[in-house]
Amino acid sequence: MTKSAAWIVPGYNSGVSRRVYIDWARGIAVLIMIWAHTMDAWTRAADRHGVAYRDAAVLGGFAAPLFLWLAGLAVVLAATRAAERPDPTAAPVRRSTGRARGVEVACRRGLEIFILAFLFRLQGFIVTPGGSPVTLFRVDVLNIMGPAMVGVGLLWGAGGTVVARVVSCAVAAAAIGMLTPIVRASSLVGALPIWLQWYMRPAGDLTIFTLFPWAGFVFAGGAVGALVAATRNERAERRLHVILGAFGAVLIAFGFYMSGRPSIYRVSSFWTSSPTWFAIRVGILMVAVSAVFAASLNSHENTKTRNQNRLFRAFVVSWQAPLARLGRSSLFIYWIHVELVYGYATWLIRGRLPLWAAIVACAAFCAAMYGAIVLRDRLVDGWRIRRLRQTAQTATV
């Protein structure tokens, strides 16, 4: 085993290349997502006008950008792993097609997510009947995430170097952010097929998300993913996250500064289409994920230095493992929780809880979702064990 293959740093699963701090960040996104949906669905109208609910809504608004940003980062890591993994079945003359394998992995995953978006809507249409069939084509976050991941995969494959991949994804993200006010005000969008218009700009309840600016977060994550994939040791990754955190802080400051300047657009809204708000959110995501990385290092080092303290180790494990487990099951939680929050299952409390009660209900719902993950894993593990036993018995007959 080479030195690079054996490299395991804090924040990584032992013996594999999966970065645990990314699972933690995705787990945080899951909690914020549940927070956003439960606050929106269960809080009564009388409590929706105060500062507390406004701040709760702003926090909840970071779930989607974080998911999209991490999707871009993760798809680049997956493409890089696929490209670097040798293919023993390939002929010697074809073993140089690692980049093609990486593009295939990224594009396949993006297409899977896009197809799942329609299956998710079909599930909601069946489980919660009474809606219009047109809602099957409503544009939600998965509809945006899938095509954007394909785009990131194609840019990753087109770039022959790390610099080319970072620059191409970063330029794409910036372009999407800058073009958002123009696209939303353009009369050309009105000439497109109606279903395509839903992907370009808001169209009432039929567009929860649009490609502009939301796809930009996936490309921004892809740029960071190319940098992370290029690190080969702990020191390099530490240095990278220091730089990313600093650059994120600069983006935040620049965004707030530009938000106070006269707009260069004829029509632009800070909270919906402004490139300055897009830049601020990207900066916050960069700082936040770098902070999660730093926390993973600190917790690992503290565990090593206090490995005799069982209580401390139990405390560390008590929040690390569940958070990572939530992150690894983010799609599963997304899939089941929306209908539970907005569907018939909770109609008795929909729009009826004071803010404090909605917060308590949100915490209880998070615990229930984690319990669903545990139950699912036990059922899956039990099924696998039964299959192995059946296979072993068949082999001995």
Spatial separation of the C-alpha atoms in residues 62 and 54, rounded to whole Å: 13
pLDDT at 385: 82
Name the CA radius of gyration of the chain, rounded: 22
User: Environment class of residue 260 by beta-carbon count within 10 Å: exposed (0-12), middle (13-18) or buried (19+)?
Assistant: exposed
Spatial separation of the C-alpha atoms in residues 281 and 63, rounded to whole Å: 11
- Considering only 66-80, 121-135, 186-200, 245-259, which range has the smallest mean pLDDT? 121-135
Name the β-bridge partners of 12.
Answer: 19
Q: Which of 1-10, 89-98, 375-384 has the highest mean pLDDT?
A: 375-384
- Going by pLDDT thresholds of 50, 70 and 90, the confidence category of residue 4 is very low
Three-state secondary-structure class, residue 329: coil
pLDDT at 388: 77
Question: What's the average model confidence in pLDDT over 83-88?
Answer: 73
Name the β-bridge partners of 117.
Answer: none
pLDDT at 91: 46
Domain locations along the chain: 20-396
User: Environment class of residue 103 by beta-carbon count within 10 Å: exposed (0-12), middle (13-18) or buried (19+)?
Assistant: buried
How far is residue 221 from each of residues 33, 233, 313, 353, measured CA to CA in Å?
A: 18, 21, 32, 36
Phi, psi of 353 (to 5 degrees): -95, 140
Residue 24 near residue 324, CB atoms below 8 Å? yes
Three-point CA angle 311, 315, 320, nearest 5°: 145
Give long-range contacts, CB 8 A cutoff, 24+ apart: 93-102.
99/157, 100/157, 102/78, 102/153, 102/156, 102/157
Residue 164 near residue 227, CB atoms below 8 Å? no
- 18-38 exposure pattern, b = at least 16 Cβ within 10 A, e = fewer: bbbbbbbbbbbbbbbbbbbbb
Question: What's the average model confidence in pLDDT over 98-123?
Answer: 94
Which among 358, 273, 330 has a CA at the least distance from the CA of 37?
A: 358
Q: Which of 264-278, 279-293, 334-348 has the highest mean pLDDT?
A: 279-293
- The Cα diameter of the chain in Å comes to 80
Residue 300 near residue 12, CB atoms below 8 Å? no
Residue type, 243: I
Spatial separation of the C-alpha atoms in residues 339 and 349, rounded to whole Å: 14
- Considering only 92-96, 258-262, 287-291, 390-394, which range has the smallest mean pLDDT? 92-96
Tokens 């219009």 appear where? 132
Residue 286 near residue 228, CB atoms below 8 Å? no
Q: How far apart are the first and last CA of the chain?
A: 39
pLDDT at 309: 58
Spatial separation of the C-alpha atoms in residues 371 and 321, rounded to whole Å: 14
Percent of the chain predicted with pLDDT > 70: 86
- Going by pLDDT thresholds of 50, 70 and 90, the confidence category of residue 89 is low
Phi, psi of 139 (to 5 degrees): -90, 110
pLDDT at 351: 94
Tell whether the model's pLDDT for residue 198 goes beyond 50. Answer: yes
Residue type, 1: M
Tell whether the model's pLDDT for residue 306 goes beyond 60. Answer: no
Q: Which residue has the higher pLDDT, 84 or 282?
A: 282
pLDDT in tens, 33-57: 999 999 999 999 999 998 999 999 9
**pTM assigned to the model:** 0.88
pLDDT in tens, 346-365: 999 999 999 999 999 999 99
Residue 335 near residue 356, CB atoms below 8 Å? no
Tell whether the model's pLDDT for residue 269 goes beyond 70. Answer: yes
pLDDT at 87: 61
Tokens 């022959």 appear where? 160
